[in-house]
Structure 1
């Protein structure tokens, strides 16, 4: 989401999501959510048996746009509700969700985590991207997540950021969030990262320019009731762009500068060597003189 009003919900392109168990091991990917699940004994919207050459058409439970709209899976019902800006309070009341064991699948995933990696292309304006549970949708111009299906009051938002960059890598760049780990201590909350992005141009000795960014960050934990919008459980990254651009240019030093440095080094070595030689010579001379008069012991 950004201040220009552009929003991308439930991003899947260029993003890879993996299910993890409580020990961080990757769970084998299952073919769930790909295509409409097969329903053994479908229920007709209008009742009765299917006529010859008639296909199953499941009810959208009031979210239909036209009488011809069909929702043949739990995901299609939820998507129809999302487009209306509605939330499903009890999935067990939806025949498609009940037959697919929607709530049971959520219970089976208790204690699991996830690994997300990939990249996003965003506008060069202030905005945010976040990871939060529940289906996201727009309601009265407000971005909300449907948490009712989880039927729980707290969510564990402990997380580790392996790598976060805004743009390509360039020599010397330091990304302050790489390797950051945070463990949740409170029942629930919203963890926020406020990021200031500084556009950066790095030019190497061959004249090749890399258009990238650096950033600084501050962190904040916001606690509160789960049902309130301002305390939606999740990890939020709020970014803003600095009006200042930093330019790094890699250059070879001139031969005259190199020669001056060499002369300075040679002169320094010669001077220090002379001091050490003088110290050793005079020390040896003093010791020899004392030995001749018999005072050295």
Structure 2
């Protein structure tokens, strides 16, 4: 190729004449070391290129108006089924009373640890008041249809309301804010066998396990277990504590949380998403948690911050998983208030209802976590080129330094 004066002046790769090159043993040693280092760096670049990492991204949650599943599996070893109710309240004013029967199952825990499905659904309070305590029509009155007594809890002078079942009496008592206790001396409850079964379970120190799912609004609120039928009074949410107080030596708020999560239920596809990755988030921090405070009039409080999470897999090999992560702070206090046993300078407020309360705060943000390779193909090639160039540059500088040192030492020796 014919030379051009201007191109010659721009040549950054000046050549040396082969006869002017000098090869040394030290140069060969440095070359071998450089080759080994380059191979090691290429290996590291390839390992990084093929490794999978999670890259999180925070975005606004556009599904805020959709309802959210809440999944629970909680055991109360010292409270029989039928004593506690489960209610959900949120900041919109929606109140879901005793949702145990809507998607949940209850299991009695017998003395030897055996679990039997609960057979007392009559106290669920899930029925509509007007339907359950429905009065008699004129035709029914004329035909002599029965109208069970509500024991003064409802107006019955003209059979406006009738309490023909134990559940209807309890519902009428709750509407009147009367103590129902265990239903003793109420003929409907005695005839249905509720009283005998409840007294037997309490005396046998049975426990109760509640598991299942329910839907909640995607907004801050609380879910709680508390004794007795729930009712509202002047904007306050209260519970009938008559049965709780009748047995002074029974019951405590001990419980174990086998599982607690929001959104997609266990099996935890979300956990599987991180099966081969080091950065595994704790999406179910309450699983296996045990509350051992064996006090009767005590409240256990859990404050949860929930963040929606979407997991997208590498190269779309699996369908994305939508789940929820949450952090939790736990606290407990006695209902009667007073100084804390462990921190004498802390004073607890007095009042409230004994129970287990989960206060949840739903974040308006969503975390999207994506599985990606740590490096792209172009990044991998660039890394290899940079590694080779860097090592050879350092090797050349080192070789020149060694050569110069040898020349100085040889000159001094010849002198």
TM-score (ref. length: structure 1): 0.72
Q: 1:188 aligns with which of 297, 301, 316?
A: 297
Distance 1:221 1:74, change over 3 A: same
In the other structure, the counterpart of 1:6 is 94
The answer to whether 1:57 aligns with 2:152 is no
Distance 1:89 1:205, change over 3 A: closer
Kept in 1: contact 2:222–2:360 (CA 8 A): yes
Number of matched pairs: 251
TM superposition shift of 1:195? 0.6
Larger RCO: 1 or 2 (CA < 8 Å, sep 6+):
2
Kept in 1: contact 2:90–2:222 (CA 8 A): yes
Partner-residue secondary structure (3-state), 1:92: coil
Kept in 2: contact 1:91–1:149 (CA 8 A): no
The answer to whether 1:26 aligns with 2:122 is no
Kept in 2: contact 1:193–1:238 (CA 8 A): yes
Distance 1:140 1:179, change over 3 A: same
Q: Tell me which structure has the larger Cα radius of gyration.
A: 2
TM superposition shift of 1:20? 0.9
TM-score (ref. length: structure 2): 0.53
Partner-residue secondary structure (3-state), 2:146: coil
Cα distance in 1 for partners of 2:196, 2:378 equals 76
Distance 1:197 1:81, change over 3 A: same
Matches within 5 A, 1:190-229: 190-207=299-316, 208-225=319-336
Unaligned runs of 5+ in 1: 36-50, 267-297
Structure number with higher helix proportion: 2
Partner-residue secondary structure (3-state), 2:216: coil
Structure number with higher strand proportion: 2
In the other structure, the counterpart of 1:287 is none
In the other structure, the counterpart of 2:362 is 241
What are the superposed Cα offsets for residues 183-235 of structure 1, whole Å, 9 maximum, x if unpaired? 12334301111111122222223454433221111111120249x99442221
The answer to whether 1:179 aligns with 2:273 is no
TM superposition shift of 1:114? 1.0
Q: 1:152 aligns with which of 236, 247, 255?
A: 247
Kept in 1: contact 2:106–2:117 (CA 8 A): no
Cα distance in 2 for partners of 1:143, 1:251 equals 49
Cα distance in 2 for partners of 1:131, 1:60 equals 27
